[in-house]
Amino acid sequence: MFYREAGEFKTTYAKDQQTFPIALDRWGYFITLALAFLAVPFFINDYWANAVVLPFLIYVIAALGLNILTGYCGQVSLGTGGFMAVGAYASYKLMTAFPDLNIVFVILLSGGITALVGMLFGLPSLRIKGFYLAVATLAAQFFLVWLFNKVPWFYNYSASGQISAPERTLFGQAVTGANAVPAISYLFCLVFVVVLAWAARNLTRGANGRKWMAIRDMDIAAEIIGVNPLKTKLTAFGVSSFYIGVSGALLFAVYLGAAEVGEAFGINKSFLVLFMIIIGGLGSIFGSFAGAAFMVLMPVLLKNIMVGQFGFPTDIAAHFEFVIVGGLIVVFLIVEPHGLAMLWRIAKEKLRLWPFPH
């Protein structure tokens, strides 16, 4: 009734190719953006920023990155945690070595360094595929964590091997460190998320994205039609690692403030981000958001309901959390193997026909 293309006349190519062809979608997108930028900063407090919103935004970037590699280019990676660690340690080294460097450039440079490391570990993908590549990236995960634990230079020879983010400001406002106002850290991460999600959307529907998808769908056929597998796979690894590096740098500098590589960037993190894109939907930008929301918000929500509302003992609640989140993952995978993004797509298809289905 309300949600349909009827009456939308596309008179230019730009209009025909826009991301949200339906007016209601477009409005929804702009209203969400406006709320996120103009309303949320006035209401956000420490708890909401640090427990819910910041981790959500940061994991969205990681999920976008992994989705580019795994969802769009079809290269399974279990090295996400290791690459996030590269971003975090790069930002730490940059922040301490160049105290005057603007924090935005620190984060971007950390992403750049991670992109180089990611391309290095992406080289084997030309020879090995599927499960074997997953194992090779798993090796990257363990190697990188071992490296950051082993070489004291990475943590500036501190006694404990912990890295902690010094305070850095942007336009006179603290962004990192303990004195950062939640609204400022929130806006800082939000800008990264919006820009990177916008870039990812446009990359994946342009020539590069088509090449990635061609390689994913059938690499030999893609090679025959002229897609260079070396360049394509390495750009996928590079772009993906850039995103993951940025998210690692933000996770360390803005959200955690102090980190220890084995604990913060262990294999669990790789699985967490992989679950996000599987639950959210492989090869979907919306899926990255939905998956990150599911994996970050669900445990906090369950905890607040069980402990806060019903007064469960904390250990029982923690165990139930595992059961419920695990159970929901299984249910989702059975009901809709293509993830939350597919559910969303189906809902939209149904809405287009409503109230007169065929």
Partner 1 sequence: MRITKLAAAAVAVTMAAAPVMADLVFPSLSYRTGPYAANGIPFADGYEDYFTLVNARDGGIGGVPARVVKCETGYNTEKGVECYESTKGEGALVYQPLSTGITYQLIPKATADGIPVHSMGYGRTSAANGKVFSNIFNYPANYWNGASLAVNHILDENGGDIKGKKIALLYHNSAYGKEPIRTLEELAKKHGYDLSLLAVDHPGQEQKSQWLQIRREKPDYVLMWGWGVMNQVAIQEAANIRFPMDNFIGVWWSGSEVDVVPAGEGANGYKALAMHAVGDDFPVFDDLRKYVVDAGTAAGAGDQLGTVLYNRGMYAAMLAVEAAKTAQALHGVAEINPAQMRDGMEALEMTEAKMAALGMPGFGPEFTVTCENHGGPGLGAVQQWNATDKTWSLISDYGPSDMEVIGKLIMEDSSAFAAENNISESCN
Instruction: Say whether residue 97 binds partner 1 (CB under 8 A).
Output: no
CB distance 268 to 210 below 8 Å: no
Instruction: Say whether residue 47 binds partner 1 (CB under 8 A).
Output: yes
Q: Are strands 173-174 and 169-170 parallel, antiparallel or unpaired?
A: antiparallel
CB-hemisphere CA count at 13 Å for 305? 9
Instruction: Say whether residue 40 binds partner 1 (CB under 8 A).
Output: no
Instruction: Say whether residue 41 binds partner 1 (CB under 8 A).
Output: no
Out of 250, 317, 340, 341, the only residue in the binding site for partner 1 (CB under 8 A) is 317
The distance of closest approach from Cβ of residue 263 to partner 1 in the complex, given in angstroms and rounded to an integer, is 5
Helical H runs in the chain? 13-16, 23-34, 40-43, 46-47, 54-66, 80-97, 103-122, 131-150, 182-205, 207-217, 219-224, 229-250, 261-264, 267-280, 285-303, 314-335, 339-353
Cα–Cα distance between 97 and 164 in angstroms, integer? Answer: 14
CB distance 45 to 182 below 8 Å: yes
* DSSP symbol at 170: E
Instruction: Say whether residue 11 binds partner 1 (CB under 8 A).
Output: no
Q: Which is nearer to partner 1, 68 or 273 (CB)?
A: 273
Out of 48, 275, 286, 344, the only residue in the binding site for partner 1 (CB under 8 A) is 48
Instruction: Say whether residue 258 binds partner 1 (CB under 8 A).
Output: yes
Q: Which listed range, 15-23, 47-55, 109-117, 210-218, lies at the site for partner 1 (CB under 8 A)?
A: 47-55
Question: CB under 8 Å to 25, separation ≥6 — which residues?
Answer: none
Binding track, positions 143-182, relative to partner 1; x by CB under 8 A: ------x------x-xxxxx-x-xx---------xxx---
The distance of closest approach from Cβ of residue 255 to partner 1 in the complex, given in angstroms and rounded to an integer, is 8
**Residues contributing to the site for partner 1 (CB under 8 A):** 43, 45-48, 50-51, 55, 96, 149, 156, 158-162, 164, 166-167, 177-179, 255-260, 262-264, 266, 300-301, 303-305, 307-309, 313-315, 317-319
